[in-house]
A = this chain, B = another copy of it.
Amino acid sequence: MATIRDVSRLAGVSVATVSRVINRSGYVKEETREAVLAAMRALDYEPSVIARGLAGKNTATIALIIPDILNPFFPEVARAIEDQANKFNYTVILCNSDNDPEKERKYIQVLKNKRIDGIIIASYTIEAPQILELQREGVPVVAVDRAFGSHPILSFICNNREGARMAARHLIERGCRKIAHISGPPVMSAKERYQGYVDVCGSESRFDPGLVAEGNFTIEGGYAATLELFARHPDIDGIFAGNDLMAVGALKALYQLGKSVPRDVKIVGFDDIALARMVVPEITTVRQPVYEIGRQAMKHLIKLINGEKIGQKTMRLDVELVVRRSSGEAADRV
C-alpha cells in the first residue's frame, strides 16, 4: 500500500500539498493538483482511514445499536441504514444490546475508543441523559423507533398512535364488535399504540379493560396473550396486535382454538415486516416506513457528523394501513 509520502515523492511536492489535494483544503495550483492526482492514480493510492482517524479526522465508521438482530424488525432497519451508509462510504458496526443497559454502556465505551463518527441507536432501555452525555463528548447520535420528549435529541419514529387508530377503525369497519388489543412491553411505541387503540375503542359500549393483554412484542407473547384474552372473552371478533410478531402469535393461537381467520376473528398487526406476508393468511398491518426511517436517520447523522447545525427533535413519519387477508371479508379455509 502506497503512503502519502510515496505520492508526494512521485509528484515532486510535499505531503502537505498532497493532503490538501485529498481534502480539497487550502490553496493548490491547478497544475499541482493534477500532478498529485496523477501520482495517486499511478500508485493506486488510498489514504489510510486509520491514520486519518488518529490525526483527528473521521473514521468513516458508524455504529448501529439495536436490541437484537434476531427480531425480524431489526434486519429491516439494519439494511436500510447499511445501504445508506454505504452510499456515503461509511461502514457500519453492528451491536446487539439485548436491551441490557450494561451491555449498552460497554459497547458505547468501546465505540468511543474506536473513534467512530456517530451512533444510530434503537434501544428501549437507553435514557436521555446518557445520550446527552454522548453529545456533550462530541459523538453525534440519532435515535430510531424511540423518542425523547423535549430533549434535544434527533429521533425518527413513526406515528404510532395514529397508526393504531387506523387499525382499530379498520376492524370496526370490517364489522368487528368486540376488539381486543395485544400490547407490547411498557415502552414508548407500545404505549402509543395502546393509546391509539383506546382512542377508538375505549368509548365503545362493549369496551372492557379485560380486552387488553400484554404480549411483550414476541410471537410467544402474542400466542399466550391471545389464549388469555379468549379465556376471558370467547366472543372477541377482532384483534389489534401491537406488532406483527404478536399478530403471528395470535394467528397460531387462533388456529389452536379452532377459530378461523378472518371469518371468526380478524387480525391487524403493526410494522409490516416481511413476516406479515409470509404466513397464511397474510396479515393486515400498519406499515411503518422502516426503510425511510433508516434513510433519514443516516442522512441526518451524516449532517451532524459534518457539524451542520440541525434542529434536534423527534421526527414523526406517517404510517399506512396495508389491508391483507387476515382482516378480509372472504370466507377462508384456515
Which residues on A are within 8 Å of B, measured CB to CB? 46, 48-51, 53-54, 59-61, 64, 68-70, 72, 74-76, 78-79, 82-83, 89, 91-96, 109-111, 113-115, 219, 248, 251-252, 255, 258, 274-275, 278-280, 333-334
Contacts and interface: CB of A to CB of B under 8 A. Distances in A.
30 contacts: A46-B109, A46-B113, A48-B54, A49-B113, A50-B50, A50-B54, A50-B114, A50-B115, A51-B54, A61-B93, A64-B94, A68-B79, A69-B69, A69-B75, A69-B82, A72-B72, A72-B274, A75-B75, A78-B94, A91-B95, A91-B110, A91-B114, A93-B94, A248-B278, A258-B333, A279-B279, A280-B280, A280-B334, A333-B334, A334-B334
A83 B95 CA distance: 9
A294 to B, nearest CB: 12
A289 to B, nearest CB: 16
Contacts of A59: 50, 114
A96 B278 CA distance: 22
Contacts of A46: 109, 113
Contact of A280 (B54, B109, B251, B274): B251
Contact of A278 (B49, B93, B279): B279
A113 B48 contact: yes
Specify how many copies of this chain sit in the oligomer. 2
A77 B68 CA distance: 13
Given A69-B75, A70-B76, A278-B219, A61 B94 contact: no
A112 to B, nearest CB: 8
Contacts of A114: 49-50, 59-61, 91
The residue in A50, A60, A111 that gathers the most chain B C-beta atoms within 10 A of its C-beta is: A50
A219 B276 CA distance: 13
B75 A79 contact: no
A49 B114 CA distance: 6
A78 B92 CA distance: 13
A271 to B, nearest CB: 14
B96 A93 contact: no
B79 A69 contact: yes
A278 B280 contact: no
Contacts of A334: 255, 280, 333-334
B255 A333 contact: yes
A96 B79 CA distance: 8
A233 to B, nearest CB: 23
Contacts of A48: 54, 113, 115
Contacts of A61: 93, 114
A320 to B, nearest CB: 20
Contacts of A255: 280, 333-334
Contacts of A275: 275, 278
Contacts of A110: 89, 91
Contacts of A274: 70, 72
